[in-house]
Structures are given as C-alpha cells and as structure tokens.
C-alpha cells in the first residue's frame, strides 16, 4: 500500500508540506502526495530508535537472523506492485529491477547467515592469570557490540538494493543497530512499500517498534536533523560528493562526532596495456561500451576513464567503442535532475579546448534520455586540469592517451580515490601489470583483471569502498558481509562475574561461537 | 647517544631554532639543545615514508615480525641510559620506568607474534563459479593492506609505552605502515634514544630508511604540517582534548581527509553500589586512593569520578579515602605546564559553590609536586554544570552523592564517552549492576567489576578506547593486538592471475594462513 506516510516505528504520520514523485520516462508528476518529514519526525524516530536499541542490539544471533529473513520474505510478498512502482519512479526496465530485487533479498539472507555464524562478534578471551608475577593478570574478555541507531540515506540509482532495505540497512540490522531511513525523493512510493514490509517484519518478530522508521522528504533540513540527532551513532549514505561532504560536516560538528560512511564519487579507471589492445582492441571497445551504458551509466562503478599508451591499437579500440556507442539505444535516466546534470557534464567536456568528443549515442526521442558520450584527451591536458577527472554521473567516459609509460604512471598517481581500478592485459603485459598494481591499489578498493567494474557481487570477499572521495572512509565496504563491521565497536569486560557477561563471552559459550583464547582460536 | 637531532630516515638534521627540556623535579633546564623540527623536516620525512611504503607494507609476516623484535632488542640494548634519561625528563621513579620499559618491549613482541599468526590479513576467498546461472561468478579475494605512512604523537605520561616506540608506533609498524614520530617536547632525550634504536633496527633489517623518522619540536606548526602532509594516511595521538580536536580539524580539512585516532579525555567513572559499600567502605576508600594517586594521577584511566547513593556507608568510604590521601606522599608531575594546569583545575573545583573539598594530599616541598585532592558534590549540581565532569589531569577526583537510583542513572546517562567504567558491587548488588551495565557500556570501551581502571594489560582482549571524547574514534583501541586494525583497509582482487595476487591470497597459500573460503574458515 502506497498512501504517502511517514512511518515512525509502528505508527504513521502525515505532514502539511507534501511532494510528488515524477515518472522520468515522460516527465509527468505521479498522483500520490508524499509527506515532507522534518525535524519533528526526525526527533521522534531517533528517540524511538534509541529506546529500541538495548533490546535489539542484544538479541541472540538466531533471532536477529530470523528478522533479516522475515524482512526478505516480506519484500518478496509485496509482489509485482514493487516492480511496477520502481519502474514508474525510476525509469529502469523490469528485468533490471527484478534482478535487483533478487540481490536485495539475497543480501538480507547473506547477513542472516553471517549473523548466525557469529565471527562478527570477534569473541576474545584472555583468562585471569592469578599466579603471574610480579602481578596477577585480571580476566579480560572482548567482543563487538552495536554502535547505536543508524541513519541511512538511500541511493537514487538502486531503488531496491541501495535504498530502504538495501546494503546499509541490512548491514546495520545485522550489527544490531536500529535504522532510520531518510527516503529518497525520487522513489518515495517504492520506498514506502519496502518500509511497510520492514515495519511488518518488526511486528511479526515481536521486536520493539523503534527498530525501524521511514522518513520521506526532499529537504536538506531533514538530512541535517537526522545526522545531528544526539541519539544517532552512525550514518550510511550513497549519493553525490556534495551531499556526502555536507553530511560529513554535520557529523563532524556535532558535540559528539559520529562516523559517516558516505559512498560518493568514482570514475573507475580502466588501464589498457599494449598486448591486450593489440590482441583484442575491437572486443575491448565493445565490452567497454556495454559496461559504460549499463543502466544508462548510472552505476557507482561505471568506467568513466580509460588510460592507455597512444598507438594504432588504441585507435582501433576507439573506433570500435565509437561504433558500439552509436548503436546503443538511448535510455531514460533516473530523474530529470540527474539527466540535466549529465547533460551539463557532457556539454562541459565537449566544449573543453583540450578534449575531443569521439562519439555520442543516438539522441533519444523521449524526455530525460541519456545520449552516452566518449571523449578523448592527452595525458598532459588531463594532468593539467583536475576537472577532467570529476565524475559525470551517467554514460560518459574519457580516453586519456599517454605518450610514455611515465605519463601513464603519472595519470594513475594523480587520480583521486576510486571504488575500482581495472587492468586490461595479456600474458605479454603481465610484468607491466604487476608494476602498476601497487599504485592502483593505493587508489582503489577493488582491483580487476580483464573485467569491467560494473557488476558488484554480494559476497564475503567483496569490497565496495575505497579511498576518499570514492568513500568518506576507505577502511570500509558498503557491499558484502564485511559491511556490517562498520556498525560495531569493541568492548572489553574485566573480571565480570559470568552471569553479568554477554552470552558470547560466558564460560558455557551458549552461542557455540568459535572464540579466541589467549590469542588462539578454539572450536566451540 | 643524545645529541639533539632530527632523524629523517637514516640521516640527521639540525635546525636553527632549538629548545630545551626541563627536569620537573627541580625545574632546571637540561643541557642538550634539541632542534625545532618544522615544515621542511616534516615534508622530507613524509616523502621518505611514502617511498618506503611499497616495500615495507608488503614484507612477508616473518620479516616484519623480526623487525618488531629487533626494535624491542635495540631498546633493551640502550641499557640504563634510557631509564636515567626518562627519570630526569619525566620525574617518574625508576621502578615505574623499568616496568614501563618491560611493557614497551613486550608489546612490540606481542605484535610480532600477531603479525606472524596472520589473522590480521583476514584473507578471504570467494572462488569463481563459472557454471552459475544466470551469470557466472568472478573470482574474488580480499585481504587487509596497510593504509600508508602514519604520524604518531607520543604522550607525555608514558614516555616509553605511549611514545616513540609505543603503542601507536608498534601497531602501525605491525600493520605495515612507515611511522613519523612527532617527538614529545617533555622528553626529547628519551625520545632520541629510542628513535636511534629504531633507526638502527631499520638498518639492521635492511629496510628502506623511510620506515621511521623522528621529529622533535614544540610548535603546533610542526604537528599541523605532519597531519596535513599529502603522503600521510593516518594519525595516532595521545594527549589533551584541545590538542586532539585541533588535529582532527586539520585532518578533516585536508583535500583528502584521513583518520585520526586521538585518545583524549576520560574521567573513568567508578560506580559504587550499596552492599559493596556496606561490606568494605574502608578498603574501597584505600584502594581508590591508590588508583587515584598512582603515577601522580597521570594516567588516562585515572578514576576522576565516584558515583554512589548517599548513605552512612558512603560517608565511611569518604573518611577512609580522605585519610588515605592525607598519608600519600606528594609526587612530582611530568612538566611544569601539567602541574600548573592541575593546580588550576583543583583550584576551580575548590572554589565551585556546589563543591566541597574533602581532602588534599600533603603539600610537597619541591617544585611541580602534586597535592592530590578529593571533592564532593551532589547529583543535581553535577548534572547542572558540565564543567564538573571535565577531566583534571592528575590525582583529583570528585564524589557525586545521589539521593536515588534515578539520580544515579541520570548521572551515568549524562556522562560523555569514557575509556573505562567501573562497578563496585557485592552479591546483593548484582541485579542492580546488571541493570546499569547497558548504560555504562554505551559510555565506555572497558567495563570493570570490582577493580580499578589504572593498570592496562597489553593483551588480545584489551580495549583502550571508547566513545568521544575518550577517543576520536570509539570503534578502535590503542592498546592490545586489536590496535593494529586501525592502520589497515580491505582490498578486493577480482580475477587476478595467481602470480599477480599477494602471497596471502595465492592458490598455494605460501604464508600458510587460515583463510576463509566462501565464508567458511579453512585450515592452512
């Protein structure tokens, strides 16, 4: 049911101010009036979350795992209404949204497994040494505990997998943190459907209502109020660099600063080495354009930069990419604002004196359609103007031609932090690839060989993070099971009597964890 | 050898500007002129550290462990000169410094063990699934890598264990990060001795010189230049709240913000419950004063706050504590500045209209001597004036008398973040203790039962950290093996050919690590 509500715990609120979503495929305003949540709603939701924290954060792993699975089931139970709503609000095609729903549900289930397994607690015991000289050692036990209420800002570009029940919410729940979602204004109806599913799961599992709240809204004031709320202990955000930096400032200026995990900006460099270009320039050009235009280029891992030595093989790559792009169907972008911003970015590159526009996709006939573009420049120009390495969100990419290996290395060294860095290489390039890897590793959270950065697996080994400004905290990932570590902190218990210890650290080990004893891992 | 030098890698520099240390026991200036390192030295040291990073960060664990052990041996090889220098510069007594040296050496050796063991790499492999439908899965491998050069600001109060080769340096080295130490101006000679030991260990192990530099200095400009240097990737700091906050601001305002691990301010509440007071008020009073006056009260974990219900038993505690304090010998504080600041803090409390001074230690005859003090107030006054919960660094503590359990809980809820929180309780108090634990846990990194917060074991389960302002990052610890995780970040490798993978992730597992395969831990 989409009826335009702020969901605060188990209750609904309406507000005087309202806003409407837009169908980007035709620019038409959609019928439902959504409430503009504000400071009052933020305060109420955060207070409820704080009240729910003690119980939710100390649930036994089995109960929290079942809650995550109940949320997954509840999302599936929405049925096709969810897909239809997301299609209408995002302009994304049905198959893409159906597979995004699978991913959303699977990542909730992955966290359920991980929560049950229990290694995230990092239960560590250094028993007392009463006979030690010159002084006996006390009994010390350590485990991870939840940080507290977490505010999540959903992303525009994955209205299911990075939104209301997306990676941040799932990993915060897994860690034991209540979540307050600031609903993305581009897909408020889709958000409400998922929020009601979570609300139902909270009730079905007998959890305190404050475990989850959903606050739709379009204002910066709402986001500011949420991040500044004294009950809030961490923030998850996926969006623009401007937006992420603004929230970082609010968090830093609180009387008690809190961590902000903002995923912001990445151009995902693809470095192509000579033997690979010689062997398969045409195939690379085609595959590159597929990755570039996937989802109208609206992925955080979109390949916005190609770096290679200038050569006839690079010319072949460019020709192939140009041809492939010219055959690409235009695609509706997520919102009129994103489309306009993409057009501005492409325009600015096209008018840049040191940049050549190689190709554009065909112009679409509808509104808000992306006409992807590939540009070219040389290393000297690229190094001279930092704006050339700024992200243009959408299917735009720039090929940087280098005259020497030194220039290519300078381009890599000059890059900001990235989510991904990709090397295309053949056997004969392998030594060069090995030499470039350390520099690429300093720049990125994920290094790919002979692949394309779009397509992010939700697994244990995934890192979807990277040095600033790819994220605000390069020590973290927002995708994969490691994501829940963002919302935990260690606590040490000294000489506590067994009944006062958390179950994870009690002598009888009731949760049957693999624990570390004096530094050595023991079996349960 | 102490001759007053900036150590930049393997070379020495002198500067025009110099400063002198002071013997706090007599206020006399010591003879050696120490250089004032500045922006030029900072830039040179940071550039060298960046140059050393690729090799140092990828050493095999055995080599890095041996380096840590070589540093430990080199510190012991300094012999008694180190103790004599530290005594002269800090005013701390010989036995205390000898045991601090043991701790310093042992923590280097603990990290060597942990580095060898290899779990810190968190090597995680999700193998390719070529047959998966609808799309095959790529091969994904993840491990932790070092952040990059780390700047360490040593503490005044542990001139060995929290200084040049202290917890931050040892854990950064363990993680694979080169270290630039900003030498503490209170003990520059002691710092230089240890720095030369590390410099020797770097050479003896055949490591690149930039692995370590030592920059003595008294200016804020030096610290600012180090934290702002673009090569630097993290900061470790132990000191005042003002100092820590200033460095946090510098780090936040860099073009690329970096993490600052600042341990700043904690009053380490001790909550005493009725049955414990009834059973052993006198013993508690005596033990409290022992903890309060240990090391002239100059420990981060000094018990600066006692909270209890008002009762005749609390009166007995107060009488016993007062008596114990009046018998305590005065002790020299670390620096004239710290002594003056302590006196100001004690004076302000003594003149506070809602505070009663219960007792002071006997006044010393020498300069810079601490005359510890115990104050008393009621919960209403304590809650009304936040300055009463500010740390007075030294042996000063305030007893807060509560009229009800609700008042006691309000005092706990009103506290800022702490390194530790202690409960004194007996069998009959245990239910109450259990009820208070969740609130205390939200405030502190270590919870103690029937102990005293001074005395920090260096083990696997230790947490020496806590919510702001105890530290700038409550997700971390600066003591214990977990401390090295502060200087690591995860990187994912997708489809890399085996020879290009780091050894920790190669098929043959040459480092014989326990790795995680599709989420399940495997034996090497």
pLDDT value of residue A362: 67
CB atoms within 10 A of CB A217: 26
Residues paired with residue B183 on neighbouring β-strands, in sequence order: B216
pLDDT value of residue B365: 77
pLDDT value of residue A522: 87
pLDDT value of residue B397: 97
Query: Which backbone phi and psi does A52 adopt, to 5 degrees?
Result: -80, -20
Q: Are the beta carbons of A494 and B145 separated by less than 8 Å?
A: no
Residue of B260, B491, B513, B523 to mutate for A, most A C-beta atoms under 10 A: B491
Q: Could you tell me if A306 and A397 are in contact, meaning their C-beta atoms sit under 8 angstroms apart?
A: yes
Q: Which of residues 449-508 of B touch A (CB under 8 A)?
A: 449-451, 455, 457, 459-463, 465, 467-469, 472-477, 481-482, 488-497, 499-500
Tell me which residue of B145, B341, B476 sits closest to A445, measured CA to CA: B145
Regions of chain A short of the pLDDT cut 70: 361-362, 524
Tell me which residue of A49, A468, A431 sits closest to A244, measured CA to CA: A468
Query: Which backbone phi and psi does A108 adopt, to 5 degrees?
Result: -60, -40
Q: Could you read off the pLDDT of B179-192 as tens digits, one per residue?
A: 999 999 999 999 99
Residues paired with residue A517 on neighbouring β-strands, in sequence order: A125, A520
Regions of chain B short of the pLDDT cut 50: none
Farthest-apart Cα atoms in chain A, separation: 83
**Among A99, A434, A446, beta carbon nearest to B494:** A446
pLDDT value of residue B354: 97
Distance CA B51, CA B208 (A): 8
Distance CA A68, CA A110 (A): 9
Q: What letter would DSSP give residue B25?
A: T
**Which is it for strands A6-8 and A212-216: parallel, antiparallel or unpaired?**
antiparallel
**Among A117, A257, A516, beta carbon nearest to B460:** A516
**Among A442, A488, A494, beta carbon nearest to B447:** A494
**Among B430, B455, B474, beta carbon nearest to A489:** B474
Its pTM surpasses 0.95 = yes
**Which is it for strands A269-272 and A305-309: parallel, antiparallel or unpaired?**
parallel
Helix (H, G, I), strand (E, B) or coil at A182: strand
Token pair listed for A263: 């995923």
Q: Could you tell me if A333 and A297 are in contact, meaning their C-beta atoms sit under 8 angstroms apart?
A: no
Q: Tell whether B415 lies on the interface with A, counting CB pairs under 8 A.
A: no
Q: What letter would DSSP give residue A193?
A: H
Cα distances from A52 to residues A45, A176, A206, A231, in angstroms, run: 11, 10, 12, 11
Q: Could you tell me if B241 and B234 are in contact, meaning their C-beta atoms sit under 8 angstroms apart?
A: no
Q: List the catalytic residue out of A36, A69, A209, A263.
A: A263
Q: Are the beta carbons of B492 and A138 separated by less than 8 Å?
A: no
Q: Are the beta carbons of B494 and A521 separated by less than 8 Å?
A: no
Distance CA B350, CA B328 (A): 19
Distance CA B186, CA B216 (A): 10
Q: Tell whether B429 lies on the interface with A, counting CB pairs under 8 A.
A: no
Query: Exposed, middle or buried, A187 (CB in 10 Å: 0-12/13-18/19+)?
Result: buried
Cα distances from A187 to residues A72, A157, A190, A191, A334, in angstroms, run: 19, 10, 5, 6, 9
Q: Are the beta carbons of A514 and B521 separated by less than 8 Å?
A: yes
Name, in order, each residue with C-beta under 8 angstroms of B421's C-beta and a sequence gap of 6 or more: B268, B269, B271, B440, B441, B443, B444, B446, B447, B448
Distance from CA of A375 to the nearest CA of B (A): 27
Would you say the ipTM is above 0.85? yes
Told to judge if A98 belongs to the known catalytic residues of this protein, a careful annotator would answer no
Contact residues on chain A for B452, CB-CB shorter than 8 A: none
Q: Tell whether B263 lies on the interface with A, counting CB pairs under 8 A.
A: no
Q: Which helix (H) or strand (E) element contains residue B366? A: none
Contact residues on chain B for A451, CB-CB shorter than 8 A: 138, 494-495
């Amino acid at each position: 049911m989409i009826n335009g509500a702020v969901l605060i715990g188990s209750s609904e609120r309406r507000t005087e101010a309202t806003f409407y979503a837009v169908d980007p495929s035709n620019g038409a305003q959609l019928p439902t009036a959504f409430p503009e949540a504000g400071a009052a709603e933020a305060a109420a939701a955060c207070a409820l979350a704080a009240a729910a924290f003690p119980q939710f954060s100390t649930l036994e792993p089995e109960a929290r795992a079942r809650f995550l699975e109940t949320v997954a089931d509840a999302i599936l139970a929405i049925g096709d209404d969810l897909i239809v709503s997301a299609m209408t609000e995002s302009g994304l095609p049905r198959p893409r949204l159906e597979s995004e729903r699978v991913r959303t549900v699977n990542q909730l289930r992955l966290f359920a497994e991980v929560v049950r397994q229990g290694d995230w607690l990092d239960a560590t015991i250094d028993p007392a040494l009463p006979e030690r000289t010159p002084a006996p050692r006390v009994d010390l036990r350590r485990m991870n505990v939840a940080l507290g209420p977490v505010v999540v800002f959903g992303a525009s570009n994955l209205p299911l997998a990075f939104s209301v029940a997306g990676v941040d919410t799932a990993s915060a729940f897994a860690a034991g943190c209540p979540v307050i979602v600031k609903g993305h204004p581009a897909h408020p109806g889709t958000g409400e459907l998922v929020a009601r599913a979570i609300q139902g799961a909270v009730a079905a599992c007998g959890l305190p209502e404050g475990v989850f709240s959903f606050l739709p809204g379009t204002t910066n004031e709402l986001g500011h109020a949420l991040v500044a709320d004294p009950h809030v202990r961490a923030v998850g955000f996926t969006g623009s660099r401007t937006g992420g930096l603004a929230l970082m400032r609010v968090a830093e200026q609180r009387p008690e600063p809190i961590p902000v995990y903002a995923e912001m900006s990445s151009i995902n460099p693809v470095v192509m080495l000579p033997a690979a270009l010689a062997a398969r320039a045409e195939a690379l050009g085609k595959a590159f354009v597929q990755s570039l235009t996937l989802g109208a280029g609206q992925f955080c891992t979109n390949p916005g930069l190609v770096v290679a030595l200038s050569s006839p093989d690079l010319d072949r790559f460019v020709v192939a990419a140009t041809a492939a792009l010219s055959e690409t169907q235009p695609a509706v972008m997520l919102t009129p604002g994103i489309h306009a911003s993409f057009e501005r970015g492409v325009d600015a590159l096209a008018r840049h004196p040191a940049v050549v526009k190689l190709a554009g996709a065909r112009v679409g006939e509808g509104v808000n359609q992306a006409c992807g573009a590939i540009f070219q420049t040389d290393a000297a120009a690229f190094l001279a103007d930092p704006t050339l390495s700024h992200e243009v969100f959408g299917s735009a990419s720039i090929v940087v031609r280098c005259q020497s290996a030194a220039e290519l290395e300078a381009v890599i060294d000059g890059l900001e932090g990235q989510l991904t860095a990709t090397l295309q290489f053949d056997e004969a390039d392998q030594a060069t690839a090995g030499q470039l890897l350390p520099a690429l590793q300093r720049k990125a959270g994920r290094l790919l060989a002979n692949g394309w950065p779009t397509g992010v697996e939700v697994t244990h080994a995934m890192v979807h993070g990277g040095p600033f400004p790819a994220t605000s905290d390069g020590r973290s990932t927002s995708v994969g099971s490691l994501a829940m570590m963002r919302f935990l902190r260690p606590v040490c218990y000294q000489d506590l009597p067994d009944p006062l210890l958390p179950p994870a650290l009690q002598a009888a080990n009731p949760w049957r964890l693999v624990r570390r004893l004096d530094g050595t891992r023991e079996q349960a």
